[in-house]
């Protein structure tokens, strides 16, 4: 276990088939004007909008809407949302949707009273919210599983003009005040989105797992979460309405990225930097961008973190190490992971996501370099990994 840390997660969770009852308990704590934020309309088709509106009305709220939050929310949409929140004098923001809606709502919440350009301040200069900037409280009703946005301070915004997709992980003051997690609300997700979310969870855990050489409790927790995810994902792709599988996955997703398993670790996040660069240029689905670059990345860094890759192969994928070299065991682990990725139906190359000769160098340029993993990448390394992912 390394370093000193503090741990606090202020988000209250309501989990299960009756989770929406939690909204009735939470809403009275906030003011009358509620800005209801949602995406492209899935919540109207699956009935979640009506259920949420009924609770808002029961609680006597005045509801204003900010709809049309797109996957990979943009800086232009953020400006629109900030204006909307100012116009209606929002006391509270209720995000009903997936990670994009939750991330966007957090961005609006810290931008309404921000005196500067929020993109420049929060996403380019990576500054925190000023102490005198009032943050509008946010609550989430989650409809898509994967990002962990329901219980963290992460907010990812895309700027198409600048070809940048940047995530800022804010502090506890930006975490949602509460999140409603009803696994049944995710049943209507198209399979493509469902499995992209599964891989997002996998990637979040691996980004934190593949760092450090120490004996760290966080790594044991990660291995348990990974095994649960792999097990339940196989069931969920065959039967998307298997409550046990979908509920386990929902819970795993939350714990995969709510700061717990990063404790005492440096953490990597390079797969996300590669994936976000792909997203900035192609607007592809987040989880798929991660899937498409992961195999090339992990094969590339394996020699630099060999011991951990051996441990991963044995403890997560059940590879029998007897009589094999470390390299062979590690490779068998990655092969098992690749087979699982193909089985659940992930996109395994960048060409299918729209990367081509014309925009390849834009992706290279947009990839930020992290320093917490087993190898700090050079521009040539990035180019080689992306080439191998085409």
Q: Which residues bind Zn ion (CB under 5 A)?
A: 200
Binding site for ligand NZQ (CB under 6 A): 39-43, 46, 71-72, 97-101, 103, 143-144, 146-149, 152, 154-156, 167, 185-186, 188-189, 193, 197, 200, 257, 272, 286-287
From the CB of residue 357, how many other CB atoms can be counted at a distance below 10 Å?
7
Binder of residue 148, out of ligand NZQ, Zn ion, none (CB less than 5 to 8 A by kind): ligand NZQ
Q: Which is nearer to Zn ion, 270 or 332 (CB)?
A: 270
Which residue in 348, 371, 356 sits closest to 287, CA to CA?
348
d(CA 51, CA 63): 14
Binder of residue 247, out of Zn ion, ligand NZQ, none (CB less than 5 to 8 A by kind): none
d(CA 213, CA 318): 21
Q: Which is nearer to ligand NZQ, 167 or 224 (CB)?
A: 167
Does residue 264 contact residue 218 with C-beta atoms inside 8 Å?
A: yes
Min dist. Cβ of residue 254 to ligand NZQ (A): 11
Following DSSP, what letter does each residue of 246-302 receive, concatenated? HHHHHHHHHHHTSSGGGTT-----HHHHHHHHHHHHH---HHHHHHHHHHHHHHHHG
State the burial class of residue 342 (Cβ atoms within 10 Å of its Cβ: 0-12, 13-18, 19+).
Answer: exposed
Binder of residue 321, out of ligand NZQ, Zn ion, none (CB less than 5 to 8 A by kind): none
Q: Which is nearer to ligand NZQ, 49 or 313 (CB)?
A: 49
Q: Which is nearer to ligand NZQ, 62 or 159 (CB)?
A: 159
Min dist. Cβ of residue 276 to ligand NZQ (A): 6
Q: Which is nearer to ligand NZQ, 265 or 286 (CB)?
A: 286
Binder of residue 99, out of Zn ion, ligand NZQ, none (CB less than 5 to 8 A by kind): ligand NZQ
Binder of residue 258, out of Zn ion, ligand NZQ, none (CB less than 5 to 8 A by kind): none
Min dist. Cβ of residue 257 to Zn ion (A): 7
Binder of residue 257, out of Zn ion, ligand NZQ, none (CB less than 5 to 8 A by kind): ligand NZQ
Q: What phi, psi does 359 have (nearest 5°)?
A: -115, 5
d(CA 201, CA 191): 15
d(CA 328, CA 15): 42
Residue closest to Zn ion when measured from CB atoms: 200
Measure the N-to-C terminal CA separation of the chain; round to a whole number of Å.
38
Q: Which is nearer to Zn ion, 66 or 200 (CB)?
A: 200
From the CB of residue 259, how many other CB atoms can be counted at a distance below 10 Å?
20
Min dist. Cβ of residue 99 to ligand NZQ (A): 3
């Amino acid at each position: 276990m390394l370093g000193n840390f503090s741990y606090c997660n202020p988000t209250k969770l309501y989990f299960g088939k009756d989770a929406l009852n939690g909204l009735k308990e939470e809403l009275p704590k906030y003011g009358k004007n509620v800005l209801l934020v949602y995406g492209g309309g899935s919540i109207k088709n699956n009935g979640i909008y009506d259920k949420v509106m009924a609770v808002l009305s029961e609680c006597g709220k005045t509801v204003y809407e900010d709809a049309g939050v797109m996957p990979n929310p943009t800086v232009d949409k953020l400006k629109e949302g900030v204006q909307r929140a100012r116009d209606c004098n929002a006391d509270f923001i209720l995000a009903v949707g997936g990670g994009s809606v939750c991330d966007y709502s957090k961005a609006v919440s810290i931008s309404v009273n921000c005196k500067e350009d929020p993109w420049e301040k929060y996403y380019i200069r990576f500054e925190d919210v000023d102490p005198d900037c009032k943050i509008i409280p946010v609550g989430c009703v989650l409809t898509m599983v994967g990002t962990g946005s329901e219980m963290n301070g992460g907010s990812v915004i895309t700027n198409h003009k600048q070809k940048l997709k940047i995530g800022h992980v804010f502090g506890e003051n930006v975490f949602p005040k509460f999140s409603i997690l009803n696994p049944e609300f995710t049943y209507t997700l198209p399979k493509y989105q469902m499995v992209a979310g599964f891989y997002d969870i996998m990637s979040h855990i691996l980004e934190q797992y593949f760092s450090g050489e120490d004996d760290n409790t966080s790594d044991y927790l990660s291995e348990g979460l990974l095994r649960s995810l792999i097990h339940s994902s196989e069931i969920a792709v065959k039967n998307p309405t298997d409550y046990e599988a979908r509920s386990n996955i929902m819970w795993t997703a939350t714990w995969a990225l709510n700061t717990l398993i990063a404790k005492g670790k440096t953490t990597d996040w390079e797969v996300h930097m590669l994936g976000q660069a792909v997203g900035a240029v192609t607007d592809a689905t987040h989880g798929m961008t991660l899937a498409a670059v992961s195999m090339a990345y992990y094969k590339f860094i394996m020699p630099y973190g060999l011991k951990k890759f051996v441990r991963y192969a044995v403890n997560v994928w059940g590879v029998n190490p007897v009589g094999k070299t470390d390299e062979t065991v590690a490779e068998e682990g990655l092969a098992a992971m690749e087979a699982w990725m193909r089985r659940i139906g992930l996109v395994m190359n960048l060409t299918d996501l729209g990367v081509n000769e014309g925009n390849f160098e834009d992706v290279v340029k947009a990839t930020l370099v992290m320093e917490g993993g087993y190898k700090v990448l050079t521009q040539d390394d990035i180019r080689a990994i992306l080439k191998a992912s085409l």
